[in-house]
Amino acid sequence: MRWFEIALVSLTALSGLIWLLDKHVLAKRRAARAGLLDDGGEPWIVDYSKSFFPVLLLVLLLRTFVAEPFRIPSNSMMPTLLTGDFILVNKFVYGLRLPISNHKLLAVGGPERGDVVVFHSVRQPDINLIKRVVGLPGDRVEYRDGRLTINGEAVALAPVGTYTGVRSGAEMTGAQELQETLGRHVHRILLSPQTRRLDQADGEWTVPDGQYFVMGDNRDNSDDSRYWGYLPERNLVGRAFLIWLNFDDGVDTGRIGQSIP
């Protein structure tokens, strides 16, 4: 969330500035007054700044350039990701970006078809969303009656069976579970006509340069590019790669350590 980034950057900068100010100015003044009117001790704010600055800086660097945790808030990525999953996101794989502004400093690579990506919402930039990349720039994407076609080729699907959901995902019990292959990614999706949105969007789209077409794995219960359009490259945060914990209604479902296909 953007407010957390702002708070982390602000606290890191403030504690660092106080530390530098004390080292180069205030400490010398205290030393000059020591034994006269001042005992030479450090003010509490300086002591706290010197203690917390290294920790805050380390957290900021790791969170900005290496990996960041996120929590899945909805069922739109079932069965790959469940409500309550805590995931890790690789922040380096799509380029080094500044916190808050998300401005890219260094280009490293771009999403591949099938990647599960976290991004700033197109409609509400302060909110982070997670979906699967279906269409790359220049791709012609077609989705009709639960079947995905890319550049004229139907995406491979294999039936798995009837899905049984648990806890927050119980609403998807009875959905059809299928195995889908997108590029190097082999994952499962859900089709559930009984929960299909009334405004279910079937159609055809050509992805513009610098943008992506994303969809949830829970195809009939996902607010994605079919409804709000393309995902700009500048909104990307990173690629999800690991489930490190799941807490759904306070119950650990034992999904620790699972990689994300």
Show contacts of 17-20: CB within 8 Å, 24+ apart: 18/45, 18/46, 18/49, 19/46, 19/49, 19/50, 19/53
At residue 215, the 3 state secondary structure works out as strand
**What single string gives the DSSP state of each residue in 162-186?**
E----GGGGGGTTPEEEEEEETTEE
Catalytic residue among 76, 192, 222, 225: 76
Cα dist from 96 to 66, 107, 190, 239, whole Å: 9, 7, 34, 13
Catalytic residue among 15, 49, 91, 131: 131
131 labelled catalytic: yes
**Contact predicate 206/140, CB 8 Å:** yes
CA end-to-end span of the chain, whole Å? 25
Using CA atoms, how far apart are residues 234 and 261, in angstroms rounded to an integer?
24
Using CA atoms, how far apart are residues 29 and 197, in angstroms rounded to an integer?
68
> So which residues are the catalytic ones?
76, 131
